[in-house]
Chains A and B, each alone.
Chain A
Amino acid sequence: MSSKTAGESKRWRLASVTVVDFRGVLGSQLFEFNGHPALIWGNNGVGKSTLALALEWILFGAFPSNALAAPKDAFMSPVGGGSKVCKGEVVFVLEEKRLIARRDAAANTFQVEFDDKKVHDNQARVLLEDQLGLDMDTFVRAVLLQQSKIRGLLLDDVKDRNKALDRLLGMDAAEAMLENIKPKPFKDAAKSWRENIESTEAHYQSQAELLEKRFNEAQQEARANKFLGRDLSGAGLTLLYAGLGRDLGKIAGKYGADAPQLPPADTVAGAKKTSAALAKALNQIRLGAELQKKLAPIGKRLAALQAAGEEWAELVEQRDEAQKDLDGIGKHHGDVKAVATRRAELEQELTRLKQQLRSASELRTLLVQARVCFEGDIVDACPVCEQGIAQPKKVLRSIGERIEGLTTKSVREIEKALEKARTSHVDLCETEKKFQTAQTALAEAQKQLEAGRKTTMKLLEVDGLIESKVSSELTKALADVTKQRAELSKGVETMEEDLEAISERDRAVRDGLVPFLECREAVEGHEREWKKAKNSYADAEKKASEMDDRATQVENIKKAILAAKDEIASETLGKAGPRAQKLYEKLVQHPLFDRLDVKTAVKANKVDYSFEVSSSAVNKSAREARLVLSDGQLTAAALALFYALAEAGQHGLDLLYIDDPTQNLDHARKEAMAKVVVDLASRKQIVVSTQDEDFVVLLRDAGFENGCVVHHIEQWDRRPTVSTTMPKTSQA
């Protein structure tokens, strides 16, 4: 194999990679290559892939894995190392020139040193990409070859296989574009704008019809209210209310009220305010009119006279009742003097009767004593006159008879007469009291009547009004005032008629003309809005056209992308095809299907791929590779394409970094792979990492180690134990 050194290459080769506190590496670790091919081998998990990750991270600040789109502290920093301290350096050589890329996560810096100049960040990125002639996409596709990238070719789903080929051919961007660039949403948007125009127009049309109907109805109503053509305008409205204001002023003057000022009704809204002000003014005239001022005291006087009349009538009635009561007593018991005379006579009679009763009692006592005298001793002579008594028994009997007479007849009669006289006396006393009470009531009623008379005189403003004239004077005064009020009321009625006439004119304007003008304003407003909407249609149509244009542009871009994708993929496959065919023959060594053919197939909206194998000895033997090859053969076929594409890449880096190329391969394929690697290494700087000791032996047998650096990572305890062997030619 060739032992081409950095000095012999026309492109950049890898000289060294240094990582510090990166992933599993604690501290600093240098991997030297000096532009030579290299073998990195060791068991699983000793950090072989970490070196590939470090290379990409240092150069591009990202990782090849899609799952790690951005560097993550937890992913990058080693356990026990400081957070975000990881950094690294990659050195490329080209003859005597050196290109150094440095990245420091802690300082968040990227530096490229070239030709004694150091540039940073974006400038550094531009310089690096300029010198290497590739960006990250090309790097991971054409330099950093990881077998995981070809696994998609083994999948069943055609979409997944196409996706894998897209990745291999660098068509990711084209696919991302094709998936997201669609003309339909723009066409839909254009349609939506036009539908919007139609629906807006339909809305305005229906509104216009409705408003026209209302306008006609309002016009009929206005005509019904006798409004003429000249009235049916804002100016007409103003004139009508001005006329109403003038007439209102006249009426106010006529009835002695203050002339109200109405606001000008120069708009419909103003007319509503004017109408409200007019209603208020009408009330002010009602309240402030002279008639009302006069009517109020008349009403008050009328009420006072009515009250006085009623009160007088009541007083007279009370007095007459009292008189009637007194007269009734007199009629029943006679004159009050006669009653008094009779009472005096009865009192004399009572005195007399009492005297008689006393005399009769004394006589009876005397007779009783006489009888006792006669009954005890025989009396022959009178004890008084001492004359002889001829018949004492007869005397005794006579005394007895007299006693009996006095007891049974005289005394009783006297007592009966006395009782009768007493009763009559009591009755007469009672009658006298009635007289007294009735006389008092009469006097009081008369007194009140007198007071009423005086009050009435004061009310009627007259002197010397006798009682009998009070009622008639009151009636007369009441009639006068009632007449006055009637006259004033008639005036008020006339005023109300005048005011109502004004009010009616206002109502006619408010309910007949204003709605018409409102309708007209609404129609005019609608027409203005409609016109504005129509003006906006042009804008909407412009937007619809823009969307149509966008759809066309997107369609054209889509076609251009499809054409470009087909062109680029075909060209890439065309360039890589012969080499892929040779590698296929060497790696797969199929007894029948000895040809590999990968082509593009342009369809309406996409570019598909065919990954076919065929026999050069048999016509029409082409078959889809996944249908006739085993997984190992298919892997080898995919690697053949993979390597061929990488070799065909046009960039300034003479490096292929092949990570773990023997997965799925049997011994024969591994042996073929070793030969292919050695062959590749004769033209390029190949860096192979593997855990496959058989493959290491096969590489050695093929002579790979003769001209390459060997990094054997033996142990791993956060500090890799690396046994490095430089190429014999280099050592020599």
Chain B
Amino acid sequence: MHELYRTVTLHLKAQRDSAAALKLWHNLWDAYEQGGAEGVARFMDQIIKLPDNDEADPS
């Protein structure tokens, strides 16, 4: 397991009500592993819901 992934996960788990953040973090990490920095940027674009571009949340 990547050390960064593991350490960030631990930090998030230490936070209160972090279930959603943890889920998002897992998804971000998957996006990074699949597409690197571009994969992360793409994923971020996809989960932003705007009134004129309200698409399904891929997460």
B48 contacts A567, C-beta separation under 8 Å: no
Question: Does chain B have a CB within 8 A of A347?
Answer: no
A550 CA to B51 CA in the complex, in Å?
A: 16
Q: Which residue of A lies closest to B37 (CB)?
A: A176
Report the separation of the CA atoms of residues A556 and B40 in the bound assembly, to the nearest whole angstrom. 16
- Contact B44 A556, beta carbon cutoff 8 Å: no
Q: In the complex, what's the smallest C-beta–C-beta distance from B54 to chain A, in angstroms?
A: 7
Query: Distance in Å from the Cβ of A685 to the closest Cβ of chain B?
Result: 24
Q: Assess A179 versus B37: contact at CB under 8 Å? Given A196-B51, A556-B15, A560-B11.
A: yes
Q: Is the CB of A560 within 8 A of B3?
A: no
Determine the residue in chain B with the shortest Cβ distance to A173: B4
Range of interface residues on B (Cβ < 8 Å): 20 to 34
Chain A, interface size category, equals 35 or more
* A564 and B4 form a contact (CB under 8 A): yes
Asked whether any CB of chain B lies closer than 8 Å to the CB of A417, the reply is no
Contact A135 B4 (CB under 8 A): no
Given that A547-B48, A550-B24, A556-B21 are known contacts, is A177 also in contact with B32, CB under 8 Å in the complex? yes
- Asked if A208 lies at the interface with its beta carbon under 8 angstroms from chain B, I say no
Q: Is the CB of A543 within 8 A of B2?
A: no
- Decide: A560 and B8 in contact? CB cutoff 8 A: yes
Mask: chain B, 15-59; 1 = CB below 8 Å from A; 0 = not: 100101100110010001000110011001001111100100000
Q: Which of A529-580 contact B (CB under 8 A)?
A: 540, 543, 546-547, 549-550, 552-554, 556-557, 559-561, 563-565, 567-568
Q: A554 near B51 (CB under 8 angstroms)?
A: no
In the complex, the answer to whether B51 meets A192 with C-beta atoms within 8 Å is yes
Known: A179-B37, A553-B24. A543 touches B54 (CB 8 A): yes
Question: What residues of A have a CB within 8 angstroms of the CB of B4 in the complex?
Answer: 170-171, 173-174, 177, 561, 564-565, 568
Assembled-state Cα–Cα distance A564/B19 (Å): 18
Is A553 a contact partner of B21 (Cβ separation < 8 A)?
yes
A540 touches B24 (CB 8 A): no
Minimal Cβ-Cβ distance residue in A for B3: A568
Selected interface stretch from A48-56, A180-188, A240-248, A439-447: A180-188
Q: Which B residues are CB-close (under 8 A) to A176?
A: 32, 36-37, 40
Tell me, in angstroms, the Cα distance from A182 to B25 when the chains sit together. Answer: 13
CB distance from A33 to the nearest CB of B (A): 29
Q: Are A185 and B44 in contact (CB under 8 A)?
A: yes
Residue in chain A with minimal CB distance to B43: A180
B42's closest neighbor in chain A, by CB? A180
Residues from chain A with a CB closer than 8 A to the CB of B12 are 556-557, 560
Tell me whether A189 is interfacial, beta carbon within 8 Å.
Answer: yes
Q: Which of A166-213 contact B (CB under 8 A)?
A: 170-171, 173-174, 176-177, 179-182, 185-186, 189, 192-193, 196
Of all chain A residues, the one with the shortest Cβ separation from B20 is: A553
Nearest chain B CB to A575's CB is how many angstroms away?
A: 12
| A173 CA / B18 CA spacing, docked (Å) | 21
Closest chain B CB from A381 CB (angstroms): 165
- List, in ascending order, chain A residues with CB within 8 A of B48's CB: 185-186, 189, 547, 550
Q: Shortest Cβ distance from B21 into chain A, in angstroms? A: 4
Q: Which residue of B lies closest to A556 (CB)?
A: B21
A457 to B: closest C-beta gap in Å: 93
Tell whether, in the assembled complex, residue B11 and residue A564 are in contact, meaning their CB atoms are under 8 Å apart.
Answer: yes
- Nearest-neighbour CB distance to chain B for A565, whole angstroms, equals 7
CB neighbours of A189 from chain B (8 A): 48-50
Q: How far is the CB of B53 from chain A (nearest CB, A)?
A: 9
A568 to B18, CA, bound (A): 21
Please give me the residue from chain B that is nearest to A174 by CB atom: B4
Specify which chain B residues have a CB less than 8 angstroms from the CB of A554 in the assembled complex: 24
Q: Which residue of B has the minimal Cβ distance to A566?
A: B7
- Nearest to A563 among chain B residues (CB) is B11
In the complex, A565→B11 CA distance in Å? Answer: 11
**A-side contacts of B28, CB under 8 Å:** 177, 181, 557
**Inter-chain contact B44/A561, CB cutoff 8 Å:** no
Specify which chain A residues have a CB less than 8 angstroms from the CB of B51 in the assembled complex.
Answer: 192-193, 196, 540, 543
- Option from B2, B21, B44, B49 in Cβ contact (under 8 Å) with A182: B44
Residues of the B chain whose Cβ atoms lie less than 8 Å from the Cβ of A196: 51
Question: Are B7 and A564 in touch, CB under 8 angstroms?
Answer: yes
Cα–Cα distance between A565 and B32 once the two chains are bound (Å): 16
A550 vs B12: C-alpha distance in the bound complex, in angstroms? Answer: 14
- Complex: A553 Cα to B25 Cα, angstroms: 9
**Bound-complex Cα distance A696 to B26 (A):** 49
Residue interface bits A325-343, CB-to-B below 8 A is 1, else 0 = 0000000000000000000
User: Residue B25 contacts which of A546, A547, A560, A565 (CB distance < 8 angstroms)?
Assistant: A560
Which of A135, A181, A554, A564 has the most chain B CB within a 10 Å cutoff?
Answer: A564
User: CA A163 – CA B18 in complex, angstroms?
Assistant: 30
User: Chain B residues with Cβ under 8 A from A177's Cβ?
Assistant: 4, 28, 32, 40
* Contact for A543 among B15, B40, B49, CB less than 8 A: B49
Q: Which residues of A contact B40 (CB under 8 A)?
A: 176-177, 180-181
A209: shortest Cβ distance to chain B, in Å?
24
Q: List 23 A-B contacts (CB under 8 A).
A: A135-B2, A137-B2, A170-B3, A173-B2, A173-B5, A174-B4, A192-B50, A193-B50, A540-B51, A547-B48, A549-B20, A553-B21, A556-B12, A556-B18, A557-B21, A557-B25, A557-B28, A559-B11, A560-B12, A560-B25, A561-B8, A564-B7, A564-B11
A-B complex: 9 closest residue pairs judged by Cβ atoms: A176-B37, A560-B11, A564-B7, A553-B21, A196-B51, A180-B40, A564-B8, A180-B41, A560-B8
Q: Apart from A176-B37, A182-B44, A556-B12, list 8 A-B contacts with CB within 8 A.
A: A173-B4, A180-B37, A550-B47, A553-B20, A557-B8, A557-B12, A568-B4, A568-B7
Q: A-side interface residues toward B, CB under 8 Å?
A: 135, 137, 170-171, 173-174, 176-177, 179-182, 185-186, 189, 192-193, 196, 540, 543, 546-547, 549-550, 552-554, 556-557, 559-561, 563-565, 567-568
